[in-house]
């Protein structure tokens, strides 16, 4: 795992955007694995900027998102469909039929998981996967205890994840209890992975990750077993990492 530490969130986001743009410029038909949440917002802003000012085109790029809440319609203000549309897709020249996000309104979540894993296999694998990290070490919605061989599956969100995401909903009660998420093994199909973390509230998670202890109790730690992961953090998120000599 390569670790890149930047002064602040904007600098970290700019570096992530450089890596994504390099991928897209090298291969205009790249498959990007995308995440939602607060962390990649700066990256997406920088990519929109790159599209508008430097002409980086996403015309033939395909995207595969990590997850979606069960029970939220695509046009629900807090669905990940809405998030991706508002934060990235409608600002760049990507074709919406080239963007994949699990269907949260499926009548059969289990079938949806199988369908989505087939999307990863048929459209993917992801050339470059963007990940954020939960304070409990989740990646995607792979909460502590997730099996490293997991494919796309239905997950019951743990209280801390729902509480954290309740900032986007009128109340905690309205945060969905379940989601469809790509699994650890689905994520591992990616050729390259960029894990982003920013801010003091991620400092303990980043320190735990960089302790290199691999355990299902902290799903992001499985990333130590992937051959091409770059961790991009700002100084606040890196603050609790014990460096040699300290």
* Shortest separation between residue 67's beta carbon and ligand F6R, angstroms: 5
Specify whether the CB–CB gap between 140 and 67 falls below 8 A.
yes
Looking at 15, 23, 30, 39, which residue binds ligand F6R (CB under 6 A)?
Answer: 39
* Shortest separation between residue 49's beta carbon and ligand F6R, angstroms: 20
Looking at 36, 79, 186, 208, which residue binds ligand F6R (CB under 6 A)?
Answer: 36
Beta bridge partners of 230: 2, 194
Count Cβ atoms below 10 Å from residue 159 Cβ, excluding itself. Answer: 8
What does residue 168 show for φ and ψ, rounded to 5 degrees?
-95, -5
Binders of ligand F6R among residues 72 to 91 (CB under 6 A) are: none
> CA-to-CA distance for 81 and 148, rounded, in angstroms?
26
Q: Which of the residues 136, 142, 165, 226 is marked catalytic?
A: 136
Three-class SS of residue 127? coil
Q: Which of the residues 68, 117, 143, 234 is marked catalytic?
A: 143
143 is catalytic: yes
- By C-beta, is 59 or 86 nearer to ligand F6R? 86
| Half-sphere exposure of residue 69: CA atoms within 13 angstroms, side-chain side | 26
Kindly state whether residue 12 participates in binding ligand F6R, applying the rule CB under 6 A.
Answer: no
* Shortest separation between residue 42's beta carbon and ligand F6R, angstroms: 10
CA angle in degrees (0–180, nearest 5) for 38-58-109: 55
In the complex, which residues of this chain contact ligand F6R (CB under 6 A)? 35-39, 66-67, 132-134, 138-141
Residues with catalytic function: 67, 136, 138, 143
């Amino acid at each position: 795992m390569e670790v890149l530490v930047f002064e602040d969130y904007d600098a970290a986001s700019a570096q992530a955007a450089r890596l994504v743009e390099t991928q897209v410029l090298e291969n205009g038909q790249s498959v990007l694995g995308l995440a939602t949440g607060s962390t990649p917002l700066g990256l997406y802003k920088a990519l929109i900027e790159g599209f508008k000012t430097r002409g980086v085109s996403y015309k033939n790029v395909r995207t595969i998102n990590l997850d979606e809440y069960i029970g939220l319609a695509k046009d629900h203000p807090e669905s990940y469909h809405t998030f991706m549309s508002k934060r990235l897709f409608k600002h760049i020249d990507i074709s919406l039929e080239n963007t994949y996000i699990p269907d949260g309104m499926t009548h059969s979540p289990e079938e949806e998981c199988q369908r989505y894993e087939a999307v990863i296999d048929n459209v993917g694998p992801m050339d470059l996967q963007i990940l954020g990290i939960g304070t409990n070490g989740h990646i995607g919605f792979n909460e502590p205890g997730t099996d490293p061989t997991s494919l796309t599956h239905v997950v019951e969100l743990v209280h801390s994840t729902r509480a954290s995401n309740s900032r986007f909903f009128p109340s905690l009660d309205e945060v969905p209890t379940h989601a469809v998420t790509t699994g650890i093994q689905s994520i591992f199909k990616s050729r390259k992975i960029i894990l982003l973390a920013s801010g003091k509230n991620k400092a303990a998670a980043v320190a735990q990750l960089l302790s290199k202890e691999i355990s299902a109790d902290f799903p992001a730690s499985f990333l130590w077993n992937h051959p091409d992961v770059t961790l991009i953090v700002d100084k606040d998120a890196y603050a609790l990492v014990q460096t040699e000599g300290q």
